[in-house]
Amino acid sequence: MKKYKLLWAVCLTLGGLTACQENAAPKDKTVAQENVTEKSLQPMADTPQTATANLSLGNHSYAVTIRRAPDESLPLVVDELDQRFYDNAVEISILRDDAEWFAQKVTKDTFSEFLSDAERKGSLLLGMSCDTARCDRSQICFTAQVGQAGEGPAFLYLVPVNGGTPSVQRDNLQEEINYEDSSR
Protein backbone atom coordinates (compact mmCIF):
# COMPACT_ATOMS: atom_id res chain seq x y z
CA MET A 1 0.00 0.00 0.00
CA LYS A 2 2.88 2.35 0.77
CA LYS A 3 4.20 1.71 -2.74
CA TYR A 4 0.87 2.80 -4.28
CA LYS A 5 0.76 5.97 -2.17
CA LEU A 6 4.33 6.77 -3.19
CA LEU A 7 3.52 6.05 -6.85
CA TRP A 8 0.42 8.31 -6.67
CA ALA A 9 2.44 11.06 -5.02
CA VAL A 10 5.10 10.88 -7.75
CA CYS A 11 2.44 10.87 -10.50
CA LEU A 12 0.62 13.86 -9.00
CA THR A 13 3.87 15.76 -8.58
CA LEU A 14 4.93 15.09 -12.17
CA GLY A 15 1.44 15.90 -13.42
CA GLY A 16 1.46 19.17 -11.49
CA LEU A 17 4.89 20.13 -12.82
CA THR A 18 3.86 19.27 -16.36
CA ALA A 19 0.67 21.32 -16.02
CA CYS A 20 2.68 24.30 -14.75
CA GLN A 21 5.08 24.07 -17.67
CA GLU A 22 2.21 23.94 -20.16
CA ASN A 23 0.71 27.10 -18.65
CA ALA A 24 4.08 28.85 -18.81
CA ALA A 25 4.48 28.20 -22.53
CA PRO A 26 1.53 30.34 -23.66
CA LYS A 27 2.77 33.20 -21.45
CA ASP A 28 6.14 33.06 -23.20
CA LYS A 29 4.39 33.14 -26.56
CA THR A 30 2.28 36.09 -25.43
CA VAL A 31 5.37 37.99 -24.30
CA ALA A 32 7.06 37.22 -27.63
CA GLN A 33 3.98 38.41 -29.52
CA GLU A 34 3.87 41.63 -27.46
CA ASN A 35 7.55 42.29 -28.28
CA VAL A 36 6.93 41.76 -31.98
CA THR A 37 3.90 44.04 -31.83
CA GLU A 38 5.88 46.76 -30.03
CA LYS A 39 8.66 46.56 -32.62
CA SER A 40 6.22 46.68 -35.53
CA LEU A 41 4.64 49.84 -34.08
CA GLN A 42 7.99 51.64 -34.14
CA PRO A 43 8.35 53.81 -37.25
CA MET A 44 11.11 52.80 -39.65
CA ALA A 45 13.90 55.18 -40.58
CA ASP A 46 16.44 55.50 -43.36
CA THR A 47 20.12 55.34 -42.50
CA PRO A 48 21.71 58.80 -42.34
CA GLN A 49 23.96 59.59 -45.31
CA THR A 50 26.49 62.27 -46.19
CA ALA A 51 27.75 63.17 -49.67
CA THR A 52 30.23 65.80 -50.81
CA ALA A 53 31.07 67.46 -54.12
CA ASN A 54 33.65 70.02 -55.20
CA LEU A 55 33.24 72.25 -58.22
CA SER A 56 34.51 75.46 -59.77
CA LEU A 57 32.12 78.00 -61.27
CA GLY A 58 33.46 81.24 -62.65
CA ASN A 59 36.29 82.43 -60.41
CA HIS A 60 35.00 80.58 -57.33
CA SER A 61 35.50 77.11 -55.91
CA TYR A 62 32.62 75.45 -54.05
CA ALA A 63 32.66 72.59 -51.55
CA VAL A 64 29.18 71.09 -51.13
CA THR A 65 28.10 68.84 -48.24
CA ILE A 66 24.70 67.13 -48.25
CA ARG A 67 23.45 65.31 -45.13
CA ARG A 68 20.26 63.26 -45.21
CA ALA A 69 18.79 61.94 -41.96
CA PRO A 70 15.42 60.92 -40.53
CA ASP A 71 13.77 63.85 -38.77
CA GLU A 72 11.44 62.90 -35.91
CA SER A 73 10.02 66.44 -35.80
CA LEU A 74 8.37 65.93 -39.22
CA PRO A 75 4.97 64.22 -39.60
CA LEU A 76 5.19 60.42 -39.92
CA VAL A 77 4.71 58.97 -43.39
CA VAL A 78 2.30 56.03 -43.74
CA ASP A 79 2.53 53.95 -46.92
CA GLU A 80 -0.14 51.85 -48.64
CA LEU A 81 0.72 48.88 -46.37
CA ASP A 82 0.19 51.01 -43.23
CA GLN A 83 3.92 50.93 -42.47
CA ARG A 84 5.10 54.04 -40.66
CA PHE A 85 8.30 55.91 -41.52
CA TYR A 86 10.17 58.92 -40.23
CA ASP A 87 10.48 61.39 -43.11
CA ASN A 88 13.94 62.67 -44.00
CA ALA A 89 15.39 66.15 -43.91
CA VAL A 90 18.41 67.17 -45.97
CA GLU A 91 20.92 69.75 -44.80
CA ILE A 92 22.91 71.44 -47.55
CA SER A 93 25.99 73.46 -46.70
CA ILE A 94 28.21 75.15 -49.26
CA LEU A 95 31.61 76.71 -48.77
CA ARG A 96 32.66 79.22 -51.41
CA ASP A 97 36.39 79.86 -51.56
CA ASP A 98 36.72 78.06 -48.17
CA ALA A 99 34.24 80.38 -46.40
CA GLU A 100 30.73 79.43 -45.27
CA TRP A 101 28.43 80.71 -47.99
CA PHE A 102 25.10 78.81 -47.94
CA ALA A 103 23.32 76.56 -45.44
CA GLN A 104 19.73 75.35 -45.62
CA LYS A 105 17.53 72.53 -44.35
CA VAL A 106 15.31 71.01 -47.06
CA THR A 107 12.24 68.87 -46.34
CA LYS A 108 9.53 67.31 -48.49
CA ASP A 109 7.55 70.50 -47.86
CA THR A 110 10.03 72.36 -50.08
CA PHE A 111 8.55 70.49 -53.07
CA SER A 112 4.90 70.50 -51.90
CA GLU A 113 3.56 72.65 -54.75
CA PHE A 114 4.51 69.82 -57.14
CA LEU A 115 3.11 66.96 -55.02
CA SER A 116 -0.39 65.48 -54.89
CA ASP A 117 -2.07 64.94 -51.51
CA ALA A 118 -1.26 61.22 -51.73
CA GLU A 119 2.43 61.98 -52.39
CA ARG A 120 2.55 64.46 -49.49
CA LYS A 121 1.13 61.87 -47.08
CA GLY A 122 2.65 58.61 -48.34
CA SER A 123 6.05 59.59 -49.73
CA LEU A 124 9.47 60.30 -48.26
CA LEU A 125 12.15 62.78 -49.21
CA LEU A 126 14.50 60.02 -50.36
CA GLY A 127 17.53 62.23 -50.81
CA MET A 128 19.34 64.88 -52.76
CA SER A 129 22.59 65.13 -54.69
CA CYS A 130 24.65 67.85 -56.32
CA ASP A 131 24.24 67.51 -60.09
CA THR A 132 27.59 68.96 -61.16
CA ALA A 133 26.78 68.39 -64.85
CA ARG A 134 23.86 70.84 -64.61
CA CYS A 135 25.67 73.48 -62.54
CA ASP A 136 26.71 76.60 -64.40
CA ARG A 137 28.05 80.10 -63.71
CA SER A 138 24.63 81.22 -62.45
CA GLN A 139 23.47 78.32 -60.24
CA ILE A 140 24.40 75.21 -58.32
CA CYS A 141 21.98 72.42 -59.17
CA PHE A 142 20.75 69.72 -56.81
CA THR A 143 18.48 66.84 -57.73
CA ALA A 144 15.95 65.52 -55.24
CA GLN A 145 13.59 62.56 -55.20
CA VAL A 146 10.32 62.29 -53.29
CA GLY A 147 8.46 58.99 -53.23
CA GLN A 148 9.16 55.37 -52.39
CA ALA A 149 12.51 53.84 -53.33
CA GLY A 150 12.92 54.04 -57.12
CA GLU A 151 9.52 55.65 -57.63
CA GLY A 152 8.12 59.13 -57.45
CA PRO A 153 8.79 62.55 -58.88
CA ALA A 154 12.26 64.07 -59.20
CA PHE A 155 13.06 67.74 -58.66
CA LEU A 156 15.77 70.32 -59.22
CA TYR A 157 16.72 72.57 -56.29
CA LEU A 158 18.61 75.52 -57.76
CA VAL A 159 20.85 77.76 -55.63
CA PRO A 160 21.81 80.99 -57.43
CA VAL A 161 25.52 81.80 -57.10
CA ASN A 162 24.68 85.50 -56.73
CA GLY A 163 23.16 84.70 -53.32
CA GLY A 164 19.49 84.88 -54.37
CA THR A 165 16.66 82.68 -53.14
CA PRO A 166 16.80 78.99 -54.16
CA SER A 167 14.11 77.80 -56.57
CA VAL A 168 12.49 74.44 -57.27
CA GLN A 169 11.59 72.87 -60.62
CA ARG A 170 10.26 69.49 -61.60
CA ASP A 171 13.05 67.37 -63.15
CA ASN A 172 11.30 65.97 -66.21
CA LEU A 173 14.58 64.72 -67.71
CA GLN A 174 15.37 62.51 -64.68
CA GLU A 175 11.79 61.21 -64.58
CA GLU A 176 12.07 60.20 -68.26
CA ILE A 177 15.35 58.38 -67.56
CA ASN A 178 13.81 56.55 -64.57
CA TYR A 179 10.75 55.60 -66.63
CA GLU A 180 12.87 54.27 -69.52
CA ASP A 181 15.03 52.20 -67.10
CA SER A 182 11.99 50.66 -65.40
CA SER A 183 10.28 49.71 -68.67
CA ARG A 184 13.20 47.58 -69.90
* Tens place of pLDDT per residue across the chain (184 aa): 555 454 445 544 555 555 555 444 455 555 555 555 555 579 999 999 999 999 999 999 999 999 999 999 999 999 888 899 999 999 999 999 999 999 999 999 999 999 999 899 999 999 999 999 999 989 999 999 999 866 778 899 999 998 889 999 988 876 555 444 444 4
pLDDT score, position 17: 52
pLDDT score, position 179: 43
Instruction: Say what the alpha-carbon torsion angle 71, 72, 77, 82 is, to the nearest 10 degrees.
Output: 140
The rounded distance, in Å, linking the Cα atoms of 73 and 67 is: 16
Strand partners, 140: 159
pLDDT score, position 32: 54
pLDDT score, position 139: 95
pTM of model > 0.75: no
Buried b (16+ CB within 10 A) or exposed e, 161-184: beeeebebeebeebeeebeeeeee
pLDDT score, position 181: 46
Cα 79 from chain centroid (whole Å): 12
HSE, CB side, 13 Å, CA atoms: give it for residue 164: 12
Instruction: Report the candidate in 64, 33, 32 with the shortest Cα–Cα distance to residue 50.
Output: 64
